[in-house]
Amino acid sequence: MTARQTKASAGVPEGARGAAEVTSALLGFLNEFKGFQDDLKARLQHQDERLTMLDRKTISHARPALSAAAEAEAPHQKAFDAYLRTGDDDGLRALVLEAKGMTTAVAGDGGYLVDPQTAETIRSVLRGAASIRAIANVVNVEAIAFDVLVDRTDVGSGWTDEASTITETDTPAIERISIPLHELSAMPKASQRLLDDSAFDIEGWLASRIADKFARAEAAAFVSGDGIGKPKGFLAHNKVAEDSWAWGALGYVATGAAGDFSATNPADAIVDLVYALGAGYRANATFVMNSKTAGAVRKMKDGDGRFLWSDGLASGEPARLMGYPVLIAEDMPDIGANAYAIAFGDFRAGYTIADRPDLRVLRDPFSAKPHVLFYATKRVGGDVSDFAAIKLLKFAVS
State the average pLDDT for the chain.
80
First-to-last C-alpha distance (Å) of the chain = 145
Residue 76 vs residue 381, higher pLDDT: 381
**Element (H or E) spanning 150, and its range?**
strand 145-151
Task: Tell me the pTM.
Answer: 0.71
pLDDT surpassing 80 at residue 131: yes
pLDDT band of 153, cuts 50, 70, 90: low
**pLDDT, tens only, 212-242:** 888 899 999 999 999 999 999 999 999 999 9
**pLDDT higher than 60, residue 2:** no
Strands (E), 260-370: 260-261, 286-289, 309-310, 320-321, 324-328, 340-345, 351-355, 360-364
- SS3 at position 94: helix
> How many CB atoms neighbour CB 153 within 10 A?
12
pLDDT digits (tens, 9 = 90+) for 303-313: 778 888 998 77
**Of 341, 89, 125, nearest to 219 (Cα)?**
125
**pLDDT in the model for residue 52:** 62
CB atoms within 10 A of CB 326: 24
Give the start-end residues of each E strand in 152-310: 174-180, 182-186, 189-191, 239-241, 250-254, 256-257, 260-261, 286-289, 309-310
Yes or no: say if 354 and 385 are a contact pair by the CB < 8 Å rule: no
CA–CA distance, 243 with 240 (Å, rounded to integer): 8
- Among the ranges 80-94, 183-197, 330-344, which has the highest mean pLDDT value? 330-344
**Sign of the dihedral through C-alpha 133, 135, 141, 147:** negative
Report pLDDT for 186: 87
Q: Is 14 helix (H, G, I), strand (E, B) or coil?
A: helix
Euclidean distance between CA atoms 109 and 92, whole angstroms: 12
Determine the average pLDDT of the residues in 358-383: 87
Over residues 40-60, mean pLDDT = 63
